[in-house]
Amino acid sequence: MTPLFNVGSYVEETRFGATQHDSYHNISGRGQSRRLKQGQIIKLTPRFFVSGFDALIQWTDGTKDCRVAGQYHLNLLPAPNLKKRLLAGKFDCLYHMTHIQNLSSILASGILSNAEIKRRRVSIADISDSSVQARRDEIEPIYDRSIHEYVPFYLNPKNPMLYRRKEMQNEIVIIAVSTSVLSSNCHVFTDGNAAANATLFSDDESVINNSKDVLCAQYWTDYDDGKRRRCAEVLVYPSVGVKYIEKIACNNEATRAHVASITNIQSTIEKGLYF
Contacting residues for 63 by C-beta, under 8 A, at least 6 apart: none
Q: Residues for the chain: how many in total?
A: 275
The two counts, helices (H) then strands (E), for the chain are 8, 15
Look up 34 and say whether it is catalytic: no
User: Does the annotation list 96 as a binding residue?
Assistant: yes
User: Does the annotation list 136 as a binding residue?
Assistant: yes
Q: CA 11, CA 77: separation in Å to the nearest integer? A: 5
Instruction: Kindly name the residue from 12, 67, 233, 256 that is annotated as catalytic.
Output: 233
- pLDDT for 32: 45
Q: CA 234, CA 142: separation in Å to the nearest integer? A: 13
- pLDDT for 249: 98
State pLDDT tens for residues 63-117: 777 877 665 445 677 775 555 666 667 788 999 999 999 999 999 999 999 999 9
Domain ranges of the chain: 10-78, 86-273
User: Does the annotation list 263 as a binding residue?
Assistant: no
Strand partners, 64: 58
Instruction: Kindly name the residue from 12, 116, 136, 228 that is annotated as catalytic.
Output: 136
Torsion of CA 123, 127, 132, 134, to 10 degrees: 10
Contacting residues for 240 by C-beta, under 8 A, at least 6 apart: 96, 110, 111, 151, 177, 181, 185
- pLDDT for 195: 94
Low-confidence ranges of the chain (pLDDT < 70): 1-4, 15-36, 48-52, 61-62, 69-75, 80-88
- pLDDT for 18: 42
Look up 233 and say whether it is catalytic: yes
pTM: 0.73
| Closest listed residue to residue 82, CA positions, set 12, 187, 3 | 12
